[in-house]
């Protein structure tokens, strides 16, 4: 009991010291493991956004990003550009040119969509997936995910025993945190709430809510194959995609909005060709 009392006293002292600093102070070596716990407790929304932004900058530099004239970038801007300000968030969005079926959104408002996802979904279905990811940001799930990633790196690499701020973490640690953000697995409750946000997002903005059922039906079919990364994250901690599709259908039916969804895949941009004029030579 005496040891527990001493530990509690140290904890309260460190907590008081930490709250005097607007930014995360990783503490001196003498604070040890106690300070690591406090760093997690004092992790604010602003700090989560700051660290997320730094991680995304690093990830952007390591991926091929569709330029402004790229058909993928043009399509994403056309369907999502009008929603760059959603629920008080200032969202920035880019396309990673990769065949993987993936998408993610981070605590700083960065939305990244893989071209592989855009290849298998029409515009409405794509908005469903993006809406789901934004739901995690709005519901603070993304903040919690990066906090957990930061705490893990602090413990593994000893960041918490150095005196400094979040910006002082190493490039390697930042890379691990970025990967953790993409691969983060949310709870069943968090995923269910993000699904609801996606449906509400579609309904609020006048889109066909039946695209929600269609999007999850596509993911269900793909999950039977070899598409792992994004699908594993989307399916691991909550009902399978078939059940989620049925949930969306049931809600649409209850609201009198259900009808079979007709997919409208965009026509791929064809490269311009030039026709050479035939020339004749006089004999």
Rounded to whole angstroms, how far apart are CA atoms 138 and 48? 13
Q: What is the DSSP string of 80-138?
A: HGGGSEETTEE-EEEEE--SS--EEE-TTSEEEEEHHHHHHS-HHHHHHHHHHHHHHHH
What b/e string do you get for 128-137 counting C-beta neighbours within 10 Å, with b at 16 or more?
A: bbbbbbbbbb
User: How big is the chain, counted in residues?
Assistant: 283
The strand pair at 110-114 and 103-105 is best described as: antiparallel
Longest dimension (CA), the chain: 112
Indicate if 4 belongs to the active site. no
In angstroms, the CA 117 to CA 103 distance is 7
Which of 133, 153, 191, 193 is labelled catalytic? 133
Exposed e or buried b per residue across 213-236, where buried means at least 16 C-beta atoms within 10 angstroms of its C-beta: bbbbbbbbebbeeebeebbebbbe
Q: Classify residue 9 as left (phi > 0), alpha (psi -120 to 50) or beta.
A: alpha
Give residue for tokens 């895949």.
265
Catalytic residues: 133
């Amino acid at each position: 009991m005496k040891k527990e009392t001493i530990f509690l006293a140290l904890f309260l002292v460190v907590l008081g010291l930490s709250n005097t600093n607007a930014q995360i102070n990783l503490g001196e070596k003498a604070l040890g493991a106690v300070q690591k716990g406090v760093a997690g407790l004092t992790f604010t929304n602003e700090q989560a956004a700051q660290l997320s932004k730094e991680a995304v900058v690093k990830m952007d530099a390591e991926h091929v990003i569709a330029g402004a004239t790229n058909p993928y970038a043009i399509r994403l801007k056309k369907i999502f550009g009008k929603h760059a300000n959603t629920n008080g968030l200032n969202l920035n969005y880019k396309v990673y040119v990769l065949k993987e079926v993936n998408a993610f959104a981070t605590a700083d408002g960065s939305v990244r969509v893989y071209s592989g996802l855009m290849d298998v979904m029409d515009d409405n279905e794509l908005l469903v997936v993006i809406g789901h990811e934004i739901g995690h940001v709005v519901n603070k799930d993304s903040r919690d995910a990066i906090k957990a990633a930061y705490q893990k790196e602090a413990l593994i690499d000893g960041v918490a025993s150095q005196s400094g701020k979040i910006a002082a973490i190493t490039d390697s640690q930042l890379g691990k945190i970025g990967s953790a953000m993409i691969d983060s697995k949310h709870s069943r409750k968090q995923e269910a709430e993000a699904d609801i946000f996606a449906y509400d997002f579609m309904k609020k903005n006048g889109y066909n809510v039946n695209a929600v059922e269609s999007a999850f039906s596509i993911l269900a079919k793909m999950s039977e194959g070899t598409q792992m990364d994004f699908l594993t994250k989307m399916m691991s901690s909550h009902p399978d995609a078939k059940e989620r599709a049925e949930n969306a259908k049931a809600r649409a039916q209850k609201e009198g909005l259900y009808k079979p969804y007709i997919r409208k895949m965009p026509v791929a941009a064809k490269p311009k060709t030039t026709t050479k004029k035939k020339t004749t030579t006089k004999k």
